[in-house]
């Protein structure tokens, strides 16, 4: 396959947030990637959760990351996530190990790449794709 992978159509994606996840999504509106980090012991966690798994603190900082990382794992999907709306769509869910956040991995999708580009360890960089209600979701493309 040589055609480029595109994003899952954002107009069909709706998210819900809560007090623990909203800072992540607010930063995404500004095309910034942040990570939840315990304000007491500095242990990072993703996804954001109410309690630190290390010290049980609920105080969070949100340091900004570079938006770069490497593909830790992936899957190739040939079934549309929106059958009847978008058919015959190939997309690639990926797990990205984020630079500057050891052990933190983000689930996303690969875009602007072909299946021939796809491999474990591929360097990638983030881009933010608009979805419903003014939010954006993180996608990744091969970094240059």
Are 14 and 81 in contact by the 8 Å Cβ rule? The answer is no
Q: Which is nearer to Zn ion, 27 or 52 (CB)?
A: 52
Angle at 21 between CA 18 and CA 27, to 5 degrees: 120
Q: Which is nearer to Zn ion, 43 or 46 (CB)?
A: 43
Q: Which is nearer to Zn ion, 61 or 112 (CB)?
A: 61
- 40 interacts with Zn ion by CB under 5 A: yes
Which listed residue (57, 58, 64, 114) binds Zn ion by CB under 5 A?
A: 57
Number of H helices, E strands in the chain: 1, 10
CA atoms within 13 Å, Cβ hemisphere of 20: 13
Residue keyed to tokens 């984020």: 98
Which listed residue (17, 19, 49, 54) binds Zn ion by CB under 5 A?
A: 54
Total interface residues for Zn ion by CB under 5 A: 8
DSSP code of residue 113: -
Build a one-symbol-per-residue string for 58-87: x at contacts with Zn ion by CB under 5 A, - elsewhere: ------------------------------
């Amino acid at each position: 396959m040589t055609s480029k992978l595109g994003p899952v159509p954002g107009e069909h994606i709706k998210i819900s947030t809560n007090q623990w996840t909203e800072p992540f999504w607010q930063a995404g509106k500004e095309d910034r990637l942040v990570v939840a980090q315990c304000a007491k012991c500095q242990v990072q966690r993703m996804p954001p959760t109410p309690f630190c798994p290390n010290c049980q603190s609920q105080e969070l900082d949100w340091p900004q990351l570079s938006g770069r990382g490497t593909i830790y794992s992936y899957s190739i999907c040939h079934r549309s996530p929106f059958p009847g709306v978008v058919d015959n769509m190939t997309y690639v869910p990926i797990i990205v190990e984020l630079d500057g956040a050891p052990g933190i991995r983000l689930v996303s999708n690969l875009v602007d790449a072909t299946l021939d580009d796809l491999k474990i360890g591929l360097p990638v960089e983030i881009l933010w794709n608009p979805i419903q209600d003014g939010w954006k979701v993180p996608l990744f493309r091969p970094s240059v």
